[in-house]
Chains A and B, each alone.
Chain A
């Protein structure tokens, strides 16, 4: 099978997956108690008012009817408007995506050099004081859940010592306008993946340095730094790369926790608010965005794999 044909087939499956996710989410949101009309009515739940709201919001039509309309609009690239604010959902997504993508990208950008570097350093001093200190710190840090770590960091560095802003309140989502607000959230996001990745790098390096080809290179008189960087490190990084892919998944969840604690108005916050308000079109739009992202990332990974090993890919 040719690459374009394979890509087309996978893209079709991906589109099906997105629609599947959207359908499941729609059914689940419908299954929640109450609807947007009830939530808007709040502590003044006058039944006549709720009925009127329902009529206005088009919630009095059957669910499948509304779902098909939504799907038709989606096919035309229209995500619809929020039930509560009547603003386009696409705008809500665009506004929420900026801080979330920034946090995730900055985490990955810092994570790789930091964990590979420190992992390699620990491996070079295997059994030494630095190695043991790093191991102990990594194991200890890994045991702390992110929300607990976040609250602790806020209490100590934000509130008590007042070295860093305790929240991102006032940045309006533009975190780069005051980079100091990024420090604590990034520290939380980095903590756990850093532990696992640096431990993996260290283990990989220790093993690689004992490998036959490295010993051979050493006998040939290859200088030590070159030995580490060129002969050992690439071998050690294979499991690290796999772990990194898993970390990217984890990051989305971690970002939601971090958004809540540090008041970052990103996608996680938008999703929580939309579910609370039973704002079905916004919930749907957010889920489609997440589904499209996930499918695209996986598709890209599969295409790379197909390019490298076409037969393996063709079997799927």
Chain B
């Protein structure tokens, strides 16, 4: 499922674009690439500067880890800072700065023990730093992304027991509290710090130099608690255009190109200068139906939509085959995923029957899409074609890409949707409860809310797993997310780069992580 595709011997005239001279030079280059000296050894090696090229945020970029939003900001924050916990390959929670945690009997107070770690200026990481960081994130006058996750913590009732122990009080019992410690953007910064021009963190790399929108140079932090990085230096470069990123890699200007398309991966599959790593189960690809308004308040029509979708065709065309089919549930391969539910397969006859029963034959349904994520526009056209076969007229409506997520949250009835990795509990609490602030399907069910509340306030892990299974069965049967696939996340590296993890969905700890990567 997850695999690093090694570069086989270069094919000569791959695209037949150029004549003999080009082919000859390609052969020469391929020859260079095959030399063992240019290929990463299996054993990690010390030293060197890795140049990683990402899409960026332009001159507006900041290094404030609590503001991290884009992929490159998330990766930078991870290089310079630590969270108390992070997501493992199956999006279960792994301790990081915290060496462990222990709740009280009613799950309202959590005692978190910190490991022996230091900031880049040599000061130890203490309970006070954690409390400051969480206070900063949840400051009601600020709008940090992780605030929604951390709001559960009652900081007034929380305290530092000693330097390495912090006791966090919660506003209500919550069994999945470690999910909060690993929340996107919940980084620990030194006490009192509110400016990040020259950030000091406890992460594996220390700040070197920064030019917003251009480059960030980091240096190895030898005293990192998780072992010092192999690399001496790490440089983040910026190229928003995917072809520019792969070109920089091919031209030897970068060693790691983040986020390339399946088409690029296929084009350079035989090129000795490029190695593609595929991180499976990274991005949920879905259509969001609003269940609180016509026409999708009709359960039959939702089921018809589930049944008319040819998921394999969507994966093959929209994702160029780089992904797996979905089963209308978030989190394939993640902890607590209900993989016991049978995979939905197209059933056009039943879909037609349901469309008729819903009185929806010939219905025109606008589908919101925008070039906000790769494949969205293609999804709309492929799906419209599929819907036509059962008598529905799905009309793609392209919106503004910069404001897309806000526009589809409250407006429209059907929209292209995607999501990165997060625990299934987080997906439910952020998107599927009556109180969820980003409930894009309008799924509001008191009984569902109650089941969730019971589950997360119970210390009984088996009962909790059972509840997650039940909730997913309800969503599979009549929910608003038509999850048709999971896209692989693709990263291109030079063959000199070793240690890039393939078992890391985007947003998890090992994704875009450079302290375990080596050169040569």
Contacts and interface: CB of A to CB of B under 8 A. Distances in A.
A8 interface: no
Contacts of A165: 251, 253
Contacts of A162: 25, 29, 250-252
Nearest to A273: B58
A263 to B, nearest CB: 5
B211 A95 contact: yes
A160 B22 contact: yes
A265 B25 contact: no
Contacts of A44: 145, 148, 405, 438
Nearest to A161: B25
A40 B57 CA distance: 11
Contacts of A167: 239, 244, 247-248, 251, 253
B17 A170 contact: no
Interface in B411-467: 419, 437-438
Interface string B1-32: 00000000000000001100110011001000
Give the one of A44, A262, A278 with max B CB within 10 A. Answer: A44
B141 interface: yes
A265 B213 contact: yes
A98 B244 CA distance: 21
Interface stretch (A21-29, A49-57, A222-230): A49-57
Interface in B116-157: 141-143, 145, 147-148
Interface string A187-214: 0000000000000000000000000000
A84 interface: yes
Interface string A102-145: 00000000000000000000000000000000000000000000
B409 interface: yes
Interface residues of B, number: 51
A160 B17 contact: yes
Interface in A161-186: 161-162, 165-167, 169-170, 172-173
B254 interface: yes
A159 B59 contact: no
A6 B53 CA distance: 52
B261 to A, nearest CB: 16
B61 interface: yes
Contacts of A158: 247, 250-251
A174 to B, nearest CB: 9
B366 interface: no
Nearest to B257: A169
A131 B240 CA distance: 43
A80 to B, nearest CB: 14
Interface in A234-270: 260-263, 265, 269-270
Contact of B143 (A49, A84, A86, A169): A49
A219 B403 CA distance: 74
A273 B244 CA distance: 16
Contacts of B254: 169-170
B53 to A, nearest CB: 6
A274 B437 contact: no
B104 interface: no
Residue from B58, B405, B437 with most neighbouring chain A CB atoms (10 Å) = B58
7 contacts: A33-B403, A45-B405, A49-B143, A156-B17, A165-B251, A166-B253, A167-B239
Interface of A: 32-34, 38-50, 52-53, 56, 82, 84-87, 92, 95-96, 154-156, 158-162, 165-167, 169-170, 172-173, 260-263, 265, 269-270, 272-274, 276-279, 282
Given A86-B62, A162-B250, A169-B253, 12 more contacts: A34-B402, A43-B419, A85-B61, A160-B17, A160-B25, A161-B22, A165-B251, A167-B247, A167-B248, A263-B238, A265-B59, A270-B59
